[in-house]
Amino acid sequence: FLIPSGSGQAATTMPIMAPLADLVGIKRQIAVLVYHFGDGYSNMLWPTAGCVV
């Protein structure tokens, strides 16, 4: 199940991650920031990334 866009991935995963962040005691803003950093770093690993092409 692949979702190519970062905003599409966020739309599908943040409804799951936000309650998990609340459960662990992390602010939702921090959860979004962590998601954004993780998405950015993982984009460098894909062979179709702009910096690799």
> Does some domain include residue 24?
yes
pTM over 0.75: no
52: in domain: no
Give residue 46's Cα distance to chain centre. Answer: 15
Backbone φ and ψ for 22, nearest 5 degrees, come out as -60, -40
The answer to whether residue 51 is domain-embedded is: no
**Domain around 29:** 7-43
pLDDT in tens, 7-24: 888 999 999 999 999 999
Domain annotation covers residue 20 = yes
Give me the number of domains the chain comprises. 1
What's the DSSP call for residue 33?
A: H
Judge whether 39 lies within some domain.
yes
Contacts of residue 44, defined as CB under 8 A and 6 or more positions apart, other chains included, come to 51, 52
Quote the pLDDT of residue 24.
97
